């Protein structure tokens, strides 16, 4: 996509960011209590109207090329915008650059046939429908996408899919799912056994079993995580996305940019939590004439958070720039770094902000508790911390082991 990216001057990017900042803080932040108190059915129609306003402001689908209805921002410029949008849980959704739709749009743009792009990419870009991505299964480790039980068997001009998925985010109300299923079970190469297939919703045999309760909250619509089942789900053979047996490769293409997208958003959350922490510490009296901000421990938390957020931002911008100019393979190690570092920075900043707020931080009177519940998963999805650390360590140790074998 870098070849379709639009170069922005520093001044143009600054104007875009300020436009987004004003929109987020004046239009979206006031709606947060509706989300925090579980009133998704009420808020979704309101957000639909605001999506139209985001389009009018030039904030729509910023990652997509202009030829496909987006702004054409390169990844490093999108990083700055994503941070601004991450200030509120609604930012990315209202600007049509939220997971999982952003990843599915990128897949369809890169690997979809013209017919698939007309049927699913175009309405995704226009905001007329939503999608979901069904890969993780309850029986297998989600960090190992070659371990799958869901199967797709060719029957004439159709695929017949059977299996169960969970944490299929945003399946509630989605118009289609991109499903990872084993199509080549006898292939000796485990990374070439699965394919990705588009399943329209509803299709006979597809069942949304439940919206999974995440730390006591089921959510709804786009803000949900579903368990789904496929019982002899039959779809046309033409719904195969990319080449048969290349599902793992497509997943990796999706996950690389996806990890950067998440890290960009997490920095925005960190900045909002930091702002809330500093505001509350400066206002909260703990004794006559003494405020929380006067306490050395609180000052340490603020300083540590400021340092870590700054470091996280620089790391993400470095990874985004590498991917923009050199491609995903060149950025692979940097992506592993940020997936671990930024996710943990997010946890620490949120925890400090909640601690400063005391009992208030545990309530849904601020977005801190909502983010603490929903973003604890940051250290798990798209590769758990431990998986990334193992890969990073193996790469670091490789030259030393090779030197040892030569000596």
DSSP character for 23? H
Q: Which domains are present in the chain?
A: 2-98 (1.10.540.10), 131-245 (2.40.110.10), 249-406 (1.20.140.10)
Please state the φ and ψ torsions of residue 172, each to the nearest 5 degrees.
-65, 105
The DSSP call for residue 6 is P
Average pLDDT over residues 5-25: 89
The CA-CA-CA angle for residues 40, 44, 49, to 5°, reads 155
How far apart CA 391 and CA 43 sit, in angstroms, is: 41
- With 90 as the cut, is the pLDDT of residue 365 above it? yes
* pLDDT number for residue 92: 97
pLDDT at res. 157:
97
pLDDT the model gives residue 284: 97
Number of CB atoms found within 10 A of residue 243's CB: 13
Mean pLDDT of the region 129-155: 91
The pTM score is 0.93
CA angle 166, 172, 178 (to 5 degrees): 60
Are the CB atoms for 171 and 241 separated by under 8 Å?
no
Secondary structure (DSSP) of 143-162:
T-TT----EEEEETTEEEEE
Is the confidence at residue 143, as pLDDT, over 90? no
Reduce the DSSP state of residue 204 to 3 states and report it.
Answer: coil
194-208, 226-240, 349-363, 391-405: which has the minimum mean pLDDT?
A: 391-405
Mean pLDDT, residues 162-182 taken together: 97
CA angle 169, 242, 97 (to 5 degrees): 40
Whether 255 has a pLDDT exceeding 90, the answer reads no
94 pLDDT band (50/70/90 cuts)? very high
- pLDDT computed for residue 6 by the predictor: 67
Residue 200, C-beta contacts closer than 8 angstroms, at least 6 positions apart: 175, 176, 235
Listed range (32-41, 175-184, 268-277) with the worst mean pLDDT: 32-41
In terms of pLDDT, which residue wins out, 325 or 235?
Answer: 235
- The pLDDT value recorded for residue 44 is 85
What pLDDT is attached to residue 326? 87
Distance CA 12, CA 234 (A): 48
pLDDT reading at 142 higher than 90 = no
CA-based Rg of the chain, rounded to a whole angstrom?
22
Give residue 61's pLDDT. Answer: 96
pLDDT at 1: 41
Q: What proportion of the chain, given as a percentage, has pLDDT over 90?
A: 82
Q: What is the pLDDT of residue 7?
A: 66
Q: Which residue has the tokens 């090329």?
A: 65
214 vs 39 pLDDT, higher one: 214
Average pLDDT over residues 249-262: 86
**Dist. CA 313–CA 160, nearest whole Å:** 45
How far is residue 229's CA from residue 46's CA, in Å, rounded to a whole number? 31
Q: For 48-90, what is each residue's pLDDT tens digit? A: 999 999 999 999 999 999 999 999 999 989 999 999 999 999 9
User: What confidence tier does 37 reach under pLDDT thresholds 50, 70, 90?
Assistant: confident
Whole-number mean pLDDT of the chain? 93
Per-residue pLDDT, 2: 44
Element (H, E) at 212: none
pLDDT at 385: 95
Residue given tokens 């289609």 in the structure block: 176
Confidence (pLDDT) at 394: 95
CB atoms within 10 A of CB 401: 10
Count the Cβ atoms, other than its own, within 10 Å of residue 220.
Answer: 16
At 130 the three-state DSSP class reads: coil
User: Residues 311-338: pLDDT tens digits?
Assistant: 999 999 999 999 988 888 889 999 999 9
């Amino acid at each position: 996509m870098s070849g379709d990216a639009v170069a922005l001057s520093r001044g143009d990017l600054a104007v875009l960011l300020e436009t987004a900042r004003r929109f987020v803080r004046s239009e979206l932040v006031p709606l947060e209590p509706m989300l925090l108190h579980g009133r998704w059915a009420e808020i979704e129609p309101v957000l639909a109207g605001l999506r139209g306003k985001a389009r009018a402001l030039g904030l729509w689908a910023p990652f997509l090329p202009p030829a496909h209805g987006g702004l054409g921002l390169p990844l490093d410029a999108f990083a700055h915008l994503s941070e601004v949008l991450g200030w509120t849980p609604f930012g990315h959704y209202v600007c049509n650059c939220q997971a999982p739709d952003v990843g599915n749009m990128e897949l369809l743009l890169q690997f979809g046939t013209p017919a698939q792009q007309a049927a699913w990419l175009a309405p995704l870009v226009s905001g007329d429908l939503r999608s979901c991505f069904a890969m993780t299964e309850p029986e297998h480790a989600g960090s190992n996408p070659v371990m799958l039980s869901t199967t797709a068997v060719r029957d004439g001009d159709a695929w017949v899919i059977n299996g169960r998925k969970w944490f299929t985010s945003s399946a509630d109300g989605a118009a289609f799912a991109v499903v990872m299923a084993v199509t080549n079970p006898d292939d000796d190469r485990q990374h070439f056994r699965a394919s990705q297939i588009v399943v329209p919703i509803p299709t006979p045999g597809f069942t949304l079993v439940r919206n999974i309760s995440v730390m006591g909250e089921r959510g709804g619509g786009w803000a949900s995580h579903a368990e789904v089942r496929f019982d002899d789900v039959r779809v046309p053979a033409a719904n195969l996305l990319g080449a048969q047996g290349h599902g793992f490769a497509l997943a990796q293409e999706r996950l690389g940019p996806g990890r950067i997208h998440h890290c960009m958003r997490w920095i925005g959350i960190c900045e909002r939590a930091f702002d809330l922490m500093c505001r509350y510490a400066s206002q909260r009296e703990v004794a006559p004439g003494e405020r929380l901000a006067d306490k050395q421990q609180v000052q340490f938390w603020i300083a540590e958070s400021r340092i870590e957020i700054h470091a996280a931002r620089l790391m993400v911008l470095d990874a985004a720039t590498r991917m923009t100019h050199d491609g995903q393979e060149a950025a692979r190690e940097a992506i592993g770094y940020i997936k671990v570092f930024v996710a943990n920075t997010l946890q620490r900043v949120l925890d400090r902000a909640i601690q400063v707020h005391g009992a208030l931080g545990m309530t849904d009177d601020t977005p801190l508790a909502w983010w603490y519940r929903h973003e604890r998963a940051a250290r798990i999805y798209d590769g758990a911390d431990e998986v990334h650390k193992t890969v990073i360590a193996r790469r670091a140790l490789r030259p030393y082991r090779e030197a040892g074998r030569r000596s």
